[in-house]
Structure 1
């Protein structure tokens, strides 16, 4: 693992993407920054982080995904790498809120943004962005946000957590072909609100109750409805109300 440390940058994802477009970059190269000026989340949402307090990182992953039908496999790997690491540090009630939020109980403590690009050879190169609230303790106008420091009343070593997460990622990628079904089962078990009657709203703002059953192989959320049918939803088609 090669680690590139930056003081301030617009976006670690954009920096790593630009670097990999200009030169050959080692697999699992990590870029981290103390301050990210233009961090982003899913669907262009802004990711704010207090300078120096949180883990802001991007990881290059290549030679893992080979077609569009398998891209969600990387979400599974990255989510589990974060969950396993946080459990090691005794973070309470860790889960993955589909598709890419990391939760402690009902508070968001992190977010994942994976950007895939297809090279001329057809190979897929991925930039995995992770923002994890570590030592920040104030979140203005963000009632659902929290941090490791807040939920544990203790401060943490960001770089130690970074190495643990990337080590987990590398191991899971290396073993994926042999352990895919086990990893998917583990991922399903770690889903936020799995098996619990939950309120949702769809893209037409219709509210409904359902029970999360899992995620399809291409990353759609599977929800059991009142009529006992299971409906699959893309990211923009459904939102959890909690």
Structure 2
């Protein structure tokens, strides 16, 4: 049995659906579903993921992490984000992780991930990490405000399979760290890679626009910002926006 089992399909509703419904042989370490096109690719919440057929990487990784407490399941998204960052950084500089699930090149979004974990008792049972990476798409027609692809940055096409290979090898390393219980090490690497990890920046929440600096990412994934008056504001996904 392979350590990494890769299933490639021409089209699916979403690769997370593909992995959720897959009942064939799985990899010892991970099973990966890759699609040339997703008819209903999703981001966080109600967001849609725009991807031209055959131009980008759209895939989901299914794993069974060892002994991860429910309260630390965010570490899985951190591990995947680090692997994506590493793979993209093989090609361009200025790659960061924008909390909670995006990869940025400068002020533009090149990748996003949707995490779906099942719970078994007080621990994570399985986890499906669905990722889209803009590789060779040259024109974006959706309403996403700031997409960018590797091809747009570099001025030439990139071998998507090579990007995926590097990413999976890096994720295998981070997954082994997770399985060894090294959550704080993963969290530290994630925090050091964050977009806007230093300095004052503009944000917006239900109360309006404000300036703040990043205080920390809590173990459960909440973002904590320190406002100009010294007060701390704590946010879950979708409760605050970056003003770019």
The TM-score with structure 2 as length reference comes to 0.91
* Cα offset, 1:63, TM superposition: 2.6
2:76 maps to 1:74: yes
CA contact (8 A) 2:56 2:135 kept: yes
CA contact (8 A) 1:67 1:124 kept: no
CA contact (8 A) 1:115 1:127 kept: yes
Structure richer in helix, relative to its length: 1
- Cα deviation digits, residues 149-168 of structure 1 (max 9, x gap): 11121211111111111111
Q: Secondary structure at the match of 2:65?
A: coil
Q: Distance in 2 between matches of 1:56 and 1:184?
A: 25
Listed as ranges, the gaps of 5+ residues in structure 1 are: none
CA contact (8 A) 2:70 2:124 kept: no
2:4 maps to 1:4: no
Q: Distance in 2 between matches of 1:213 and 1:151?
A: 31
Distance 1:10 1:193, change over 3 A: same
1:86 aligned partner? 88
Distance 1:227 1:125, change over 3 A: same
Distance 1:209 1:172, change over 3 A: same
2:138 maps to 1:126: no
1:111 aligned partner? 112
2:32 maps to 1:30: yes
Residue pairs, 1:46-65, within 5 angstroms:
46-64=48-66
* Cα offset, 1:120, TM superposition: 7.2
2:141 aligned partner? 140
Listed as ranges, the gaps of 5+ residues in structure 2 are: none
Q: Secondary structure at the match of 2:89?
A: helix
Q: Secondary structure at the match of 2:153?
A: helix
1:161 aligned partner? 163
Query: What value does the CA root-mean-square deviation take over the aligned residues?
Result: 1.9
The TM-score with structure 1 as length reference comes to 0.92
- Cα deviation digits, residues 160-188 of structure 1 (max 9, x gap): 11111111111111133375433322211
- Cα deviation digits, residues 69-92 of structure 1 (max 9, x gap): 011111111111111111122x13
Q: Distance in 2 between matches of 1:71 and 1:122?
A: 8
2:234 maps to 1:239: no
2:18 maps to 1:15: yes
* Cα offset, 1:49, TM superposition: 0.5
Distance 1:122 1:86, change over 3 A: closer
* Cα offset, 1:107, TM superposition: 0.6
- Cα deviation digits, residues 113-155 of structure 1 (max 9, x gap): 1111124795421100010000001012544111011112121
